[in-house]
Amino acid sequence: MDNSLGKNCTVLHESCTTALSRSDFAPRIDLSFLDPPFNQDKAYNAWDDNLPPEEYWGWMREICGKLYTLTSEGGAIYFMQREKNTEFVLQCLRDAGWTFQNLIIWKKKTSAVPGTKRFGKHYQIIAFATKGKTPRVFHRLRIDPPLPADYKHARENGMFVTDVWDDIRELTSGYFAGDEALRDTEGNRLHKQQAPIQLLLRIILSSTNPGDVVLDPFAGSGTTLVVAEQLERKSIGIELDSHNITLIQNRLTEWRKSDDVSRFFKDYACTPDLEAIWGEHGQSRKFASPDEPTAKQMAFLESNQ
């Protein structure tokens, strides 16, 4: 099923394994964000999240290989996973031909998962790699986070983003996930793995220009597409679960204030040429009020009760 949502965004309701194999899939991908099920026995509607490890990593290798073929020279992939799987992620990317660039540590702002016989876990990894040695696009973004307590001098012009991202809050399962998390009328999360828009904002701004093509083969609730659309990038999302397809369609047709990325523009204000990187009309989209669910959201919420 092909679901074009305007001229810039396409949502495919099928398995990415099938979609990426089609000869007419897409002319060229410039950036892929890979946030697959982590194979840790989570309750997905349409997917067995408890595959034998060899089968799971064989599948990931196959996806990375297909993406490599479809990607423009110098194009990028960001592959997110649990930290304990780092060696498998790097191996998959290498086997598929990708050139390693960074292992990004996404240090959670929420509390660590405690360990009784080892240190508590406080981060997730995102492997960044490119097709060929030289990235086709890499914008060196500058941010200006609060100074650590023992710093004597204020920064004059912020600092470059490094490979440790500790300024992006994950959407946790409870109350602290805040407004951004999609919820039913009782406050339950509609997609427990929904990524924060700030994470995709950083990835898309770093590795693409307006007009480039962004792909999310495991689109989930559509976070990648929601951010790409606001930054004037073309986007393709593939998702297996029909429930999530509805979430994506609603999210992309009736915009929620909490999905507005323009409030983060100031965080990157020290970046040269930020307007050009961000996209000309990126700040002018009309969003619904934060308090009022849109008509489509209401209909969807009611049908899910």
Ligand X SMILES: C[S@@+](CC[C@H](N)C(=O)[O-])C[C@H]1O[C@@H](n2cnc3c(N)ncnc32)[C@H](O)[C@@H]1O
Residues that bind ligand X (CB under 6 A): 15-17, 35-37, 44, 46-47, 191, 193-195, 218, 220-221, 223, 238-241, 244
Q: Which is nearer to ligand X, 33 or 278 (CB)?
A: 33
Q: Which of 20, 26, 68 is nearest to 213 (CA)?
A: 26
Q: Whole-number minimum distance, CB 59 to ligand X, in Å? A: 8
Asked whether the CA dihedral 27, 238, 89, 130 is positive or negative, the reply is positive
Q: Which two tokens mark 255?
A: 């915009």
In the complex with ligand X, which residue's Cβ is closer, 213 or 238? 238
Give start and end residues of each alpha helix (H) in 96-218: 197-207
Q: How far is Cα 34 from Cα 11, in angstroms, rounded to an integer?
A: 15
Asked if 216 contacts 224 with a C-beta cutoff of 8 angstroms, the reply is yes
Shortest Cβ distance from residue 249 to ligand X (Å)? 14
Query: By C-beta, is 11 or 90 nearer to ligand X?
Result: 11
Q: Which is nearer to ligand X, 35 or 212 (CB)?
A: 35
Q: Are 201 and 261 in contact (CB under 8 A)?
A: yes
Helix 242-253 with 223-230: angle, nearest 10 deg? 20
Q: Rounded to an integer, what distance in angstroms lies between the CA atom of residue 248 and that of residue 282? A: 20
In the structure encoding, which two tokens stand for residue 16, read together? 């990415």
Q: Are 127 and 60 in contact (CB under 8 A)?
A: no
Alpha-carbon torsion 117, 119, 122, 126, what sign? negative
- Least spacing, CB of residue 69 vs ligand X, in Å: 17
Nearer Cβ to ligand X, position 16 or 93? 16
Q: How far is the CB of 252 from ligand X (least distance, A)?
A: 13
Shortest spacing between CB 182 and ligand X, in angstroms: 9
β-bridge partners, 271: none
| Burial classification of residue 139, based on how many CB atoms lie within 10 Å of its CB (0-12 exposed, 13-18 middle, 19 or more buried) | buried
Nearer to ligand X, 33 or 142 (CB): 33
* Min CB(193)–ligand X separation in Å: 4
Name the DSSP letter for residue 9.
E
Closest to ligand X by CB, 161 or 238: 238
Give least dist CB 155 to ligand X, A: 32
